[in-house]
Amino acid sequence: MSTAKAARKPTQPKVPTKQQKLPALTGVSSCNPLADDPPDSYSLTAFSEVLDRATRATIARGTFGLAPSALLGAWADWAIHLAASPGKQIRLAEKASNKAVRFSNFVTRAAASGGECDCCIEPLPQDRRFRGDAWQQPPFNLMYQGFLLWQQWWHNATTGIRGVTPQHERAVEFAARQLLDVFSPSNSPFLNPDVLERTRETMGLNFVNGYRHWLEDLERQYSSKPPAGTEGFEVGENLATTPGRVVYRNRLVELIQYEPATDEVRPEPILIVPAWIMKYYILDLSRQNSLVRYLTEQGFTVFMISWANPGPNDRDMGMEDYRELGPMAALDAIQAITGAAKIHATGYCLGGTLLSVAASAMARDGDDRLASLSLLATQVDFSEAGELMLFINESEVAFLEDMMWEQGFLDARQMAGAFTLLRSNDLFWSRMVHEYLMGERAPVNDLMAWNADTTRMPYRMHSEYLRALFLENRFASGKYEVEGAPVAFSDIRTPVFSVGTETDHVAPWRSAYKVHLLGDTDVTFVLTNGGHNAGIVSEPGHRHRHYRVRTTSAQDPYLDPDAWMKAAELKQGSWWPEWVAWLSSRSGAPATPPPTAAPQKGYPVLQDAPGSYVMRT
């Protein structure tokens, strides 16, 4: 029935049938215990909702965005199952006895040899706290050996308990490790031999300097100033200096077109979609390590999305807004400006996830504008998203939603606690020892300056991202919808170049490797050493760089990550030339560079790079 006919049809009064009960009279109570209570008033419901959310938002500010209930639930799960496991308790008692004997034997050998004896336990490869020569001399070797044995026992105590959920086990083991780090002898000014030697040399001046550093950091934190040492880095001066023009702008993005650095360029331009949780210039840092500059010097026309830094008025912008106003709007602009039939699309971190969703929707709808898809430190399946998943559960997501609901966005600094905990020895304790106990300021480089230039995320978008992708993993299961219909990564037929990094705590390489399981196209996977950012910013000439690479065609059988490691070719140096060769083999012959902007088509030059959005704080 049409809307007009429905409007003309007279409304018939509803008459209760014999099967329908008449509403109860006012003031007459029902004897049915299952009967519903009268509905709450709208004002009471709204007030209670606001009160609950405001309370949780207040708590969230004091816990750096981490939900206490999530950790308490994990501890309760562990404690209850351990209490009901007498066999596990007996084994733990035996392990404690064995470790005490090992430590006693070590003390005896060290006393007899004057400290020159083999350790009874070796630190983990990534543990660099006790590598100095001073730690091998008594009594400091006894201290750190005892601590490592204690740490190992607690690892045994928090893992391998039948009945504890895997996520709770990981959370308890992780939390126990963080608590033990507080008591590490390396973090004590009275037990760290390097600090004691520094104190002797400076007559205690190191503590004076450390106290000054602590006061300065505290003042900067509360006044929202950048960390000390970043003043020497400025966007547009010695960061993000590759020449270019802003050729398109909407509410969410600026599109930068970079000047060609060669007389001829490949006909297929490159679109780079960075993550919106970071400023885009991670890929255009200093002149010597700029990926953008390197691509232009290799004969490519490069376009970069620069995301706006959202504020309270952008609270209702969702994932679909980011897709439409981000990569889709950029693709339209690039085609209008260059006239290119095909475009190489590249996504970094969350930008790669968004680009994968956009590419899947394009494949579903028959949009074949992509010549290739490159994913840098990107996840499309979040079922094993590493230690970051310790903080992503229903309790934590609800906690973050309430914090974002109050202010309209999530500031990256409010999640800094979680990222710092993931690498507490590197990001917190080592800095505390070096700057506050040794009294020395660590030099700041361009990557550290960029890392301090944080951004925000709108309430709706981040809530949708956490729930749909992290918590429910809808994209990998074919349940994520774009424009009312589901999309699947397996619809993509363009070749894929995927990069993982060996020590990535944000997008673990084994998680990024799942692109092989979800895709139905040729995949070239590169595994490079380094972390989430340093592994990607890996310019040619960078010391101590290596990578593994292997191409898997759509017809090849699946290799698990361990088998892939054995089969992949190990190469020394930067992975950038490997990627350029891959892009070049899928590009046409070099030709005259396209024009900059297209004012006649509605894409004029708006301003010089790096634009205005990257300057927003």
Q: Which residues contact 365 (CB under 8 A, 6 or more apart)?
A: none
352-406 pLDDT tens trace = 999 999 999 999 999 999 999 999 999 999 988 876 677 677 777 776 776 666 6
83-121 pLDDT tens trace = 999 999 999 999 999 999 999 999 999 888 876 788 899
Torsional sign, CA 304, 340, 252, 457 = negative
Which of 31, 117, 120, 349 is catalytic? The answer is: 349
- Kindly report the length of the chain: 617
User: Is residue 521 included in any domain, yes or no?
Assistant: yes
User: Residue 2 above 70 pLDDT?
Assistant: no
13-66 pLDDT tens trace = 444 443 444 344 344 444 455 555 566 665 666 666 666 666 666 666 656 566
Name the DSSP letter for residue 191. T
Spatial separation of the C-alpha atoms in residues 563 and 567, rounded to whole Å: 6
Spatial separation of the C-alpha atoms in residues 390 and 110, rounded to whole Å: 40
Per-residue pLDDT at 273 = 98
Could you tell me the CA-to-CA distances from 183 to 62, 133, 429 in Å, in that order?
A: 23, 21, 11
568-615 pLDDT tens trace = 999 999 999 999 999 999 999 999 999 999 999 999 999 999 999 999
Which ranges of 537-575 would DSSP assign to H, the alpha helix?
561-567
Burial class (CB in 10 A: 0-12, 13-18, 19+), 534: middle
Per-residue pLDDT at 17 = 43
Q: Which of the four pLDDT bands, split at 50, 70 and 90, describes residue 213? A: very high
* Residue spans of beta strands (DSSP E) within 502-545: 523-528
CATH number assigned to the domain comprising residue 500 = 3.40.50.1820
Per-residue pLDDT at 13 = 40
Could you tell me the CA-to-CA distances from 530 to 127, 172, 450, 515 in Å, in that order?
A: 16, 27, 17, 20
pTM for the full predicted model: 0.84
Verify whether residue 349 is a known catalytic residue.
Answer: yes
Per-residue pLDDT at 220 = 87
Q: What angle do CA 391, 483, 367 make, to 5 degrees?
A: 110
CB 271 within 8 A of CB 355: no
225-276 pLDDT tens trace = 888 888 889 999 999 999 999 999 999 999 999 999 999 999 999 999 999 9
Per-residue pLDDT at 82 = 96
Per-residue pLDDT at 425 = 58
Burial class (CB in 10 A: 0-12, 13-18, 19+), 431: middle
Q: Which of the four pLDDT bands, split at 50, 70 and 90, describes residue 459? A: confident
User: Is residue 492 included in any domain, yes or no?
Assistant: yes
Closest CA to 546 of 568, 564, 563: 568
Per-residue pLDDT at 124 = 85
Task: Specify the number of domains making up the chain.
Answer: 1
Q: Which residues contact 397 (CB under 8 A, 6 or more apart)?
A: 463, 466, 467, 470, 471
User: Residue 558 above 70 pLDDT?
Assistant: yes
DSSP string covering 206-267, please? HHHHHHHHHHHHHHHHHTTPPPTTGGG--BTTTBS-S-EEEEEE-SSEEEEEEPPSSSSB-S
Could you tell me the CA-to-CA distances from 106 to 111, 142, 604 in Å, in that order?
A: 8, 8, 74
Torsion of CA 567, 569, 574, 576, to 10 degrees: -80
The proportion of the chain whose per-residue pLDDT surpasses 90, expressed as a percent, equals 63
User: Is residue 499 included in any domain, yes or no?
Assistant: yes
User: Is residue 409 included in any domain, yes or no?
Assistant: no
CB 581 within 8 A of CB 274: no
User: Residue 419 above 80 pLDDT?
Assistant: no
Characterize 133-161 residue by residue with b for buried, 16 or more Cβ atoms within 10 angstroms of its Cβ, and e for exposed: eebbeeebbbbbbbbbbbbebbeebbeeb
Mean pLDDT computed over every residue of the chain? 87
Lowest mean pLDDT among 70-79, 188-197, 218-227, 460-469: 218-227
Which ranges of 468-600 would DSSP assign to H, the alpha helix?
509-512, 515-518, 561-567, 576-585
The proportion of the chain whose per-residue pLDDT surpasses 70, expressed as a percent, equals 84
User: Is residue 515 included in any domain, yes or no?
Assistant: yes
312-323 pLDDT tens trace = 889 889 999 999
Which ranges of 408-456 would DSSP assign to H, the alpha helix?
416-422, 424, 430-431, 446-451
Widest Cα–Cα separation across the chain? 103
Could you tell me the CA-to-CA distances from 207 to 57, 118, 132, 186 in Å, in that order?
A: 37, 34, 21, 16
Range of the domain at 516: 244-383+473-615
* Residue spans of beta strands (DSSP E) within 241-369: 244-249, 253-258, 270-273, 302-307, 343-348
Spatial separation of the C-alpha atoms in residues 499 and 529, rounded to whole Å: 11
User: Is residue 46 included in any domain, yes or no?
Assistant: no
